[in-house]
Structure 1
Amino acid sequence: MAMVLQLTTFLQQWLYSRPDVKALKKEDDAVNLGIIGGSATINAAAIIHPAETHPGAKIVAVASRDISDAQKAAKQFHIPKAYGSYEELLADPEVEAVYISVPNGLHGEWAIKSLQAGKHVLLEKPFTSNGLEARRVFEEAERCGKIVVEAFHWQFHPAAHVVKSLIASGKFGDIKRTFARMTTPKGTIPGSDIRWQWSLGGGALMDETYALHATRYFVGGDNETLLGSGIKPTVVSATSKPWSKDKRVDSASWADLRFDLEGGKTVDSKIYVDMNAPNLALVIPRAWEFPSIEIECERATIYFFNHMMPHLYHYISIYDKVTKHTTYQKHYNYGPKWKNVGDPHWSTYRYQLEAFVDKVRGREPKHWITPEDSIAQMETIDAIYLRNGLGVRPVTGELDGASAE
């Protein structure tokens, strides 16, 4: 019965994450958004559905390198304008901000071009190909006086803030260790997928970067702490399972990290990511392995199940080492940051768009992914790749002359 109830709850939250509640009327100063990326790369749940329910945002254009592909997306999602090149969209004066949905290796190039065209940028994760390119993007944003933010949508959700507040309260003592994982069942990602292409920033550590991001955030990567959002660990050890068709691409990666905190305190962290996780007993796909993180403190162990998509279904378990009891929590709205803003049907992406629109319109967002955070994330990924011997992902496009140190 418990499993039936859980599955029912999962389905209910999935349904409510869809655009069931449409914004009846757009605000006069709604942010006009353009999407850079063809129909094959557009994730409707990430930007189109959230914009449909946000009175302060509307999608006015989509661009692909193939006009017929752009027209297909425009027709499917009721977008007024379709362009056959990214440059045409960037030249449209009606477009104020862009959502960039292109392969990882092209993120930096098109973020910079968008900023130079006078657009604000909401950029899919991972932010860029490497840390050096991340710094270059933020330098350009500052020069152009525009906003660019990494779309780590999960961190905008109230459930993430609740876990953060539980740790920050000090009730359970200092963090001692963490373990974060994210896996994709074997055979789910076809060999032709761009996520396997080294030149386009492919690999498990890049695609399933949520495990590292959650680790950094909960250990201390928050602008509201003295550690700041730019916290970076030392890579103690790192190994990988290279993809059979290109040994430069990690099919799976493991890393042992050490965070050196104030007062001589340390936190030992492990991450495991796998884009081709082996089946149980060779035949059963591990579909139950949702992205999750375990945080062991001195007096309790906190487990956040499905931290990547908590709006679909999640739970936060707290095992009290003193009482030996485990309690459970779920949080689909409100929380310590959003207060009375939000609804149970809001997805992580909808909360993210709320913050992005606030920032573009000069209002203080309830939560934000800082430049320091995105740079530290990419530099840590670089360090893991250097340690496991696969090397830093290359810069593509017009930035080919740059190299990561």
Structure 2
Amino acid sequence: MALVVQAFTFLHQYIYTRLHPTPSKSPEALKVGVISSAQINAAALIHPAESHPSVILYAIASRDISTAQKAKEQYNFTKAYSSYEDLLDDPEIDFVYISTPNGLHYEWAAKSLKAGKHVLCEKPFTSNAAEAKELMELAKDRGLVIEEAFHWQFHPAAHAWRQLLDSRKYGNILRTNAIMTASPAVPESDIRWKFDLGGGSLMDMTYALSFTRYALHASTPKQIVSVSVRPSRGDPRVDEAMYAHVDFEAPNGGDVHSRIYTDMARHKLGYVIPRFWELPSIEVETEKAIILFYNAMMPHLYHYITIVEKTTGETKTIKQYSGGPLWGKVTTSTGEKGGNHYWSTYRWQLEAFVDAVKGNTPAFWVANQDSIWQMECIDSMYKAAGLPIRPSKEVSSKKGK
């Protein structure tokens, strides 16, 4: 029920910005430019930036100037632009947030880096692994920060969950089972169904793969056992649903069998009731327990980590909304040690991103190599399914063009 979770996040972000005062901006605050007028902008960047003392909402660009002007007035941006190129030509902007359709991520991330801007780019990072490698090399050559916005990984709950797995208190990991679905279905008119724009369930619902690899500290699969696809009726190159069995190397050196299920049109129960309870989650079986991270995608809204011991049936529940293994010792930008319990995953992400841009060591970071591995996994799963990987877009070498 991923779409419902996202809707509640918009509401959550709106409420917390109304209940908590906007902090004064520091003299060294970074100015952000937003590329696109996507619906996700408010929850993913705008509201988090409002509560961060070192980020100023400076500019937003849309292909339609009236749309950009509307966003400028609504969210108090300083400038609105009618083209992404004009935004990138603005020397005042320190970093950009890219929320274009998937198939355009590479183009605008590359142009942003060539314009001297740091980049926070929505997931999936690019259309394919080749593009991901090129972006990382470009960022390295330019000495700029680029980050894939896997926001869930920055939340204290994710860190508490992985610490539990890493502790081996319940033995080694035997298998994982990750799921992300949309019920009711993603609307047919949505860009997520368009092949040339990087559409498909594995691309858009790449969280399920991310949950799996994060739990295992995994790179790429040792073996893709099987992949079953339900193709889109509108375009058979686009996966409406994917059901994959993949073997990864376990942290202890053994093999872990992982099931990954993504579905952009999950059928309703009895063809009537949407599966509102089916939130993006992952179950991990260890030698001694079954460990479930429920709503791993948006744990700030609601989550739980349950540990059911195999021999006794005893159940323990863990929740972590602030502090935790990584953030617990960190004094954050607003002065609170361990952060705030009402922060969204996106707000935790922005906290880390600003630290990285300012040359500080963030509490958590999605390594550039990890983003390359993620795209390599996606490419290999599409190939195993007999589907084409998402096409690359050629980008001019001229800055901002």
Q: Cα gap change, 1:145/1:242 in structure 2, threshold over 3 Å: closer, same or farther? A: same
Distance (whole Å) between structure 2 residues aligned to residue 129 and residue 310 of structure 1: 27
Distance (whole Å) between structure 2 residues aligned to residue 118 and residue 54 of structure 1: 23
Match of 1:69 among 67, 82, 101: 67
Distance (whole Å) between structure 2 residues aligned to residue 279 and residue 310 of structure 1: 24
How do 1:37-116 and structure 2 match up within 5 A?
A: 37-38=36-37, 40-116=38-114
1:131 corresponding residue in structure 2:
129
Task: Verify: 1:298 aligned to 2:287, yes or no.
Answer: yes
1:33 corresponding residue in structure 2:
32
1:197 corresponding residue in structure 2:
194
2:277 corresponding residue in structure 1:
288
Task: Verify: 1:253 aligned to 2:252, yes or no.
Answer: no
Is the contact made by 1:112 and 1:137 (CA closer than 8 Å) also made in structure 2? Answer: yes
Which region of structure 1 is more displaced relative to structure 2, 87-96 or 322-331?
Answer: 322-331
Q: Deviations over 1:1-50 (max 9, x none)?
A: xxxxxxxxx99977765553233310111111010002x44430100000
TM-aligned CA deviation for residue 192 of structure 1: 1.3
TM-aligned CA deviation for residue 307 of structure 1: 0.1
Secondary structure in structure 2 of the residue aligned to 1:276: coil
Match of 1:159 among 149, 157, 160: 157
Which region of structure 1 is more displaced relative to structure 2, 308-317 or 337-346?
Answer: 337-346
TM-score by length of 2: 0.91
TM-aligned CA deviation for residue 293 of structure 1: 0.2
Is the contact made by 2:88 and 2:112 (CA closer than 8 Å) also made in structure 1? Answer: yes
1:393 corresponding residue in structure 2:
390
Write the letter of the residue equivalent to 1:305: Y
Distance (whole Å) between structure 2 residues aligned to residue 68 and residue 309 of structure 1: 32
Runs of 5+ consecutive residues of structure 1 not aligned to the other structure: 1-9, 222-229, 400-405
1:171 corresponding residue in structure 2:
169
Distance (whole Å) between structure 2 residues aligned to residue 251 and residue 27 of structure 1: 46
Identity of aligned residues (%): 52
Distance (whole Å) between structure 1 residues aligned to residue 382 and residue 75 of structure 2: 38
Secondary structure in structure 2 of the residue aligned to 1:398: coil
Distance (whole Å) between structure 1 residues aligned to residue 322 and residue 26 of structure 2: 23
TM-aligned CA deviation for residue 322 of structure 1: 3.1
2:209 corresponding residue in structure 1:
212
Distance (whole Å) between structure 2 residues aligned to residue 344 and residue 212 of structure 1: 27
Secondary structure in structure 2 of the residue aligned to 1:109: helix
Runs of 5+ consecutive residues of structure 2 not aligned to the other structure: 1-8, 329-336, 397-401
Write the letter of the residue equivalent to 2:346: Y
TM-aligned CA deviation for residue 73 of structure 1: 1.3
1:22 corresponding residue in structure 2:
21
TM-score by length of 1: 0.91
Write the letter of the residue equivalent to 2:162: K
Distance (whole Å) between structure 1 residues aligned to residue 24 and residue 13 of structure 2: 25
Is the contact made by 1:232 and 1:376 (CA closer than 8 Å) also made in structure 2? Answer: no
Which region of structure 1 is more displaced relative to structure 2, 40-49 or 345-354?
Answer: 40-49
Distance (whole Å) between structure 2 residues aligned to residue 134 and residue 242 of structure 1: 25
2:298 corresponding residue in structure 1:
309
Q: Deviations over 1:109-165 (max 9, x none)?
A: 100000000000000000000001100100110111101000000000000000100
Distance (whole Å) between structure 1 residues aligned to residue 10 and residue 146 of structure 2: 34
Distance (whole Å) between structure 2 residues aligned to residue 83 and residue 356 of structure 1: 24
Distance (whole Å) between structure 1 residues aligned to residue 161 and residue 44 of structure 2: 23
Q: What count of residue pairs does the alignment treat as equivalent?
A: 381
Which region of structure 1 is more displaced relative to structure 2, 104-113 or 24-33?
Answer: 24-33
Q: Which runs of 4+ in 1 moved over 4 A?
A: 10-19
Q: Cα gap change, 1:66/1:214 in structure 2, threshold over 3 Å: closer, same or farther? A: same
Secondary structure in structure 2 of the residue aligned to 1:248: coil
1:267 corresponding residue in structure 2:
256
Task: Verify: 1:366 aligned to 2:363, yes or no.
Answer: yes
Distance (whole Å) between structure 2 residues aligned to residue 35 and residue 271 of structure 1: 32
Secondary structure in structure 1 of the residue aligned to 2:277: coil
